[in-house]
Amino acid sequence: MSGVVGSVAGLGAGLLWGGVGGRIAMRVLFLTSNEHVRGITSDDGFEIGRISFDTIVLLVFTSILGAIAGGVYGLLRIILRGPRWLRAAGVGVATAAGAGGGVIVKAEGVDFVFLEPLWLAVALFLVIPGAWGMTVVLLTERLLRTIPSSNLPTQIGTRYGGPVASAAGWLFLGAITAAGLTDLAADLSELT
């Protein structure tokens, strides 16, 4: 049940943060960059500064990706112990570092080479996945409180997984964070 609810939360958060937030971020960067970026195709295949049919493709893609990742959180929450704010912060940091720092921010390509200022481009594309992660946790927990007997998977995880399983969940988030930050540091050293 929590995997399905996590997927629903992830879909909505993906649409909001990845799709709408991503387009707003690219528009802001278009406005703050030199005119030479106009008409250039971004790393994601969109013409910088232009909203077109491709925007719908982006909205669908980020929604689907968000649903898949939200389902992963829905399963991870079964073993992940801690207050809601701590889980939201942990998942937010892991997705900011892993998705933003490890996947989105790249030294090669167009986006982080031509869009200016670099610090703003990096910050925006760390904040977007981080906000997605926090939203998924908070929304999943909120939705699960409205469903009768939805706490059963967490009770099973607590009873049979205990602190060892929870530690494994936190180590998983820590590994994603460390890998993303390492990749981000390498890309930033090439960009600056």
Domain limits for position 45: 2-191
| pTM across the whole model | 0.87
Tell me the two tokens of residue 93. Answer: 């940091």
The 10s digit of each residue's pLDDT in 86-118 is: 999 999 999 999 999 899 999 887 888 888 899
Averaged pLDDT of the chain: 88
Structural domain count of the chain: 1
pLDDT at 67: 96
84-95 vs 118-145: helix crossing angle, rounded to 10: 140
Q: What is the pLDDT confidence band of residue 174, given thresholds at 50, 70 and 90?
A: very high
> In whole angstroms, what is the distance from residue 156 CA to residue 172 CA?
20
Taking residues 132-147, what's their average pLDDT?
93
